[in-house]
Amino acid sequence: MNRGDRVELLAASDDDARFGLAAGDCGTVEFTDSLGTVHVRWDGGQRVGIIAAERDLIRCIQSAC
C-alpha cells in the first residue's frame, strides 16, 4: 500500500474494535513502515496501524495517482 491509497477494512481484530474500527470502515494510507504495518487515517478520525498479515484484512479501493 502506498501513501494516499484509499482502503477498506474487511475484518478487524478485537484490538482494532477498541479504537472504534469495524468492518466496512474506510481510510487513507499515510505510510507503510519497515515492518509492513499500514498506517491509516480512518475517515472517523482515528489513526491506527493495520498489521494485515497477522490479524486484519484491508483492501485497496482506490490507488493514489
Q: What is the pLDDT of residue 51?
A: 82
pTM: 0.85
Residue ranges of the chain whose pLDDT lies below 50: none
Q: What is the pLDDT of residue 3?
A: 95
* 21 contacts 12 by C-beta, under 8 angstroms: yes
Q: What is the pLDDT of residue 7?
A: 95
Q: What angle do CA 64, 37, 44 make, to 5 degrees?
A: 65
